[in-house]
């Protein structure tokens, strides 16, 4: 069997969720586990987050919600984007899964599915577009949409929006979004509509803007112990967030090349001196960016070793010293001994963002889960 896998420390998930619970006080924590838990494995992460006190889960797709239910997870799940009209019956049948609504077609389809199913007081959430302009009802149409939701017999459990720039604390656009959102809430209240749940904060806003907490916060990248941006790295360190993922393999071949010898497709790296190289059986078919090999590093025996040459489909090459041997563990992401390669570091090296680094990992390397002792407080 190939000595390559992704290790996920569920105790780190527990620790991180607990840290966010302490931070937000009375607000509930919703753990975002879309995209297969950002590549970590949604069911396992969801269970760990719930154990740590998260009371909600959020996904992007109806099938992601279905997977959680199939794994026996019964907590409330919010589908963050409006399901297609022909998916509404599936949402209702799953039980406890809340659809996000923001179009007339979506509202009507959901109501029809509820009537067919015979459900009573079916709860939904209304998303308001406060300026990110992906999805959501425009602010000036929010009251109309909310009234329509109630008129067709649905229960408006929640109203929410999403902060686009909160990872840069001094960016004034967050103030604009908060003001727009508060105006919508005021308009709804004037119309006699006061949903039980109000949520605006993502991970970045939870870290930087306590005024966005409201009754619930949605924590995504923070659940996995990864900072949402350089401007909040220090806050994440102060909170003690722990990266949950380790990507590891081993050295399976060793060789020495002389000066002027190139490595990999395109010969993008050429040795300037006699160099010892180790081959690692992991490549872009496993989700590693080809350019990871042109600026990234790996940990071997607790020491940083530069990657050499473009990553191939099934292999990459790392420069090693004379002490390193066949079978030595190679960590491309995560901790080894007293050092750590963070998702943020990798993202910077390859020109991506941490979300892409995590979510790009394929399912070819199996996930292995551990639950080391937690420091939940």
Report the CATH number at residue 330: 2.40.37.10
Answer whether 68's CB lies under 8 Å from 57's CB.
yes
- Shared domain check, 282 and 208: no
Task: Please choose, from the candidates 256, 253, 366, the residue with its C-alpha nearest in 3D space to the C-alpha of residue 316.
Answer: 253
- pLDDT for the residue numbered 372: 66
Q: Are 174 and 43 found together in one domain?
A: yes
The separation between CA 153 and the C-alpha centre of its own chain, rounded to angstroms, equals: 34
The answer to whether residue 374 scores a pLDDT higher than 60 is no
Angle at 79 between CA 74 and CA 82, to 5 degrees: 145
pLDDT per position as a tens digit, 103-151 = 999 999 999 999 998 888 999 999 999 999 999 999 999 999 999 999 9
Average pLDDT over residues 194-210: 97
Catalytic residues: 34, 265
Q: What's the pLDDT score for residue 375?
A: 41
Its domain, for residue 363, covers 245-370
User: Do residues 326 and 251 touch, judged by C-beta distance below 8 A?
Assistant: yes
With 80 as the cut, is the pLDDT of residue 46 above it?
yes
88: domain CATH number is 3.20.20.10
Mean pLDDT, residues 319-340 taken together: 97
Residues 205 and 252 both lie in one domain: no
Mean pLDDT over all residues of the chain?
96
Q: Which of 194, 224, 254 is the last residue of a domain?
A: 224
233 occurs within a structural domain: no
- Asked whether residue 160 falls in the same domain as residue 276, the answer is no
């Amino acid at each position: 069997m190939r000595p390559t896998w992704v290790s996920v420390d569920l105790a780190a998930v527990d620790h991180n969720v607990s840290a966010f619970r302490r931070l937000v006080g009375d607000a509930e924590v919703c753990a975002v586990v879309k995209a297969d838990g950002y590549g970590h494995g949604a069911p396992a992460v969801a269970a760990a987050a719930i154990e740590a006190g998260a009371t909600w889960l959020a996904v992007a797709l109806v099938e992601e919600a279905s997977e959680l239910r199939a794994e026996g997870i019964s907590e409330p799940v919010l589908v963050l984007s409006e399901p297609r009209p022909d998916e509404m019956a599936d949402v209702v049948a799953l039980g406890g899964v809340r659809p996000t609504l923001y179009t007339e077609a979506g509202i009507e389809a959901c109501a029809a599915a509820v009537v067919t199913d015979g459900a009573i007081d079916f709860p939904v959430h209304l998303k308001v577009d406060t300026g990110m302009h992906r999805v959501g009802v425009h602010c000036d149409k929010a009251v109309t949409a909310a009234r329509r939701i109630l008129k067709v017999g649905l229960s408006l459990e929640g109203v929410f929006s999403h902060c686009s720039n909160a990872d840069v604390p001094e960016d004034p656009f967050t103030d604009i979004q908060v003001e727009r959102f508060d105006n919508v809430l005021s308009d709804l209240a004037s119309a006699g509509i006061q949903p039980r749940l109000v949520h605006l904060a993502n991970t970045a806003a939870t870290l930087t803007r306590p005024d966005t907490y409201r009754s619930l916060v949605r924590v995504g990248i923070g659940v996995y112990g990864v900072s949402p941006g350089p401007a909040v790295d220090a806050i994440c360190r102060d909170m003690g967030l722990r990266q949950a993922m380790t990507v590891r393999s081993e050295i399976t071949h060793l060789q020495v090349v002389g000066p002027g010898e190139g490595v990999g497709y395109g010969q993008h790296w050429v040795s300037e001196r006699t160099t010892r190289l180790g081959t690692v059986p992991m490549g872009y078919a496993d989700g590693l960016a080809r350019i990871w090999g042109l600026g990234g590093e790996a940990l071997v025996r607790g020491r940083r070793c530069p990657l050499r040459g473009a990553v191939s489909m099934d292999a990459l090459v790392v420069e090693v010293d004379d002490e390193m041997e066949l079978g030595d563990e190679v960590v491309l992401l995560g901790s080894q001994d007293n050092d750590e390669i963070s998702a943020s570091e990798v993202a910077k090296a390859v020109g991506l963002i941490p979300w892409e680094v995590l979510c790009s990992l394929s399912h070819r390397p199996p996930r292995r889960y551990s639950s080391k002792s937690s420091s939940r407080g």
